[in-house]
Amino acid sequence: MKNTLLPAVDEETRQALNVDAHSARIAQYLSLFILIPLMWEASVWWNDTPAAVLPAPSTIVSAFLQEPNHYLASARLTVTVVLAAFVIATVTGFIAGVCIYYIRFVREYVYPLLTAVTVVPKVAFAPAIIIWLGLGMSSALALALLIAFFPIMVNTYTGLQSVDEDYVDMVRSYNDSRLFIFRTIRLPAAAPQLASGLKLSMIYSIVGVVVAEFLGATDGLGQLIIAASRYARTVEMFTGVVIVAVISVVLYYSTAFVTSKVIYWES
C-alpha cells in the first residue's frame, strides 16, 4: 500500500507564502485538523443531529475529558499489544524472508504455499485462535501477529531479490563472505521495500488487535467500542473510534518517520 504520503502543496501557493515545502505541508495538515472538526461541529449544530446518531466533536472531546482514565487505560493496553505484535512480526517476518531468499528448498516449495496464504483473509482464524488461547490479550496478540507477519516476510524477500547483481559481483571481488555481501549490498538494497512492509504491518497489527478485541476481550479499545455499541452508548463508541483513528495515524507516521531516517538515502 505504497502511497505518496503527505502530497506536496502546489508550487504557487508555496512560493506565495514564501515557506519551504516541508512547513507548508505541515501548515496544510494542521489547518485540516482544525477545519474538518469545525465543519463537523457546525453541521451537527445546523441539522440538530441527536448525539445518539452523530455526536459533535465537542461532545466527543468532553466525553473523553470527563473520564480520561477509562479511555486511556484501554488505549494503553491496545497500543502495548499492537507494538508487541509489530515487533515480533518484524523479527520473525524478516528471518522468514531471509530464509526464503537463501534456502532453495524453502523458496521453491514452501514459499508458493505461503503466498497462497497471503490471499486468505487471516481474520477468519480469529475464532479458532480464541478457542486456543481464550478471550484475552494473548488472542489479540496472536491474530495481530498472524496478519502482520506476511507483509514483512514478502517485502523482505522481494526486496532482497531486487538487488542489482553487478554490485554483488563488485563487492565479491573484495570480500567473498556471504554475510559481508548481505550486510553491505543486499540489506541496504532491500531496505526501501522492507520499510513499506513495516508501515503496512503496523496498520495490520492494529487491525488484528482491534478485530480480536471486537470478537471477545475483557479490555482494550475494540472491546470498549463493541460494548458501547451493544448498549447504545453512542458517544462512548465514537470516542473509541476516534482514539483508534488517532492511534493509527500516530503509529503509522512514526514508523514512516523512523524508517525514512534510517533509510536516509531513499528520500
Residue given cell 478457542 in the structure block:
131
Binding mask 33-52 for other proteins (x = CB under 8 A): ---x----------------
Q: Is 109 in the site for other proteins (CB under 8 A)?
A: yes
Nearer to other proteins, 23 or 175 (CB): 23
By CB under 8 A, residue 82 contacts other proteins: no
Alpha-carbon gap, residue 151 to 90, rounded angstroms: 9
Residues 214 and 222: beta-carbon distance below 8 Å: yes
Element (H, E) at 8: none
Q: In this structure, what C-alpha cell is assigned to residue 67?
A: 473520564
Q: Which is nearer to other proteins, 110 or 171 (CB)?
A: 110
Q: For residue 65, give Cα distances in angstroms to 9, 68, 72, 236, 251.
A: 34, 5, 11, 12, 22
Which stretches within the chain are classed as H helix? Answer: 11-17, 21-47, 57-66, 68-102, 104-105, 111-119, 126-133, 137-161, 165-172, 178-181, 187-215, 221-230, 234-262
Q: Is 132 in the site for other proteins (CB under 8 A)?
A: yes
| Angle of helix 57-66 versus helix 68-102 axis, rounded to 10 | 100
Nearer to other proteins, 94 or 214 (CB): 214
CB of 175 to other proteins, least distance (A): 29
- Minimum separation from the CB atom of position 173 to other proteins (A): 29
Question: Exactly one of 116, 166, 179, 267 binds other proteins (CB under 8 A); which one?
Answer: 116
Say which residue the cell 487505560 belongs to. Answer: 73
Give yes or no for a contact between 247 and 259, defined as CB atoms under 8 angstroms apart: no
Q: Does the protein bind other proteins through residue 20 (CB under 8 A)?
A: no
Q: Is 142 in the site for other proteins (CB under 8 A)?
A: no
Helix (H, G, I), strand (E, B) or coil at 243: helix
Tell me, residue by residue from 213 to 232, as one string, x for binding to other proteins by CB under 8 A and - for no binding: -xx------x--xx-xx--x
State yes or no: residue 18 binds other proteins (CB under 8 A): no
| Residue numbers at the binding site for other proteins (CB under 8 A) | 1-7, 10, 28-29, 32, 36, 53, 108-110, 112-113, 116, 119-121, 123-128, 130-132, 158, 162, 193, 203, 206-207, 210-211, 214-215, 222, 225-226, 228-229, 232, 234, 237-238, 241, 244-245, 248-249, 252-253
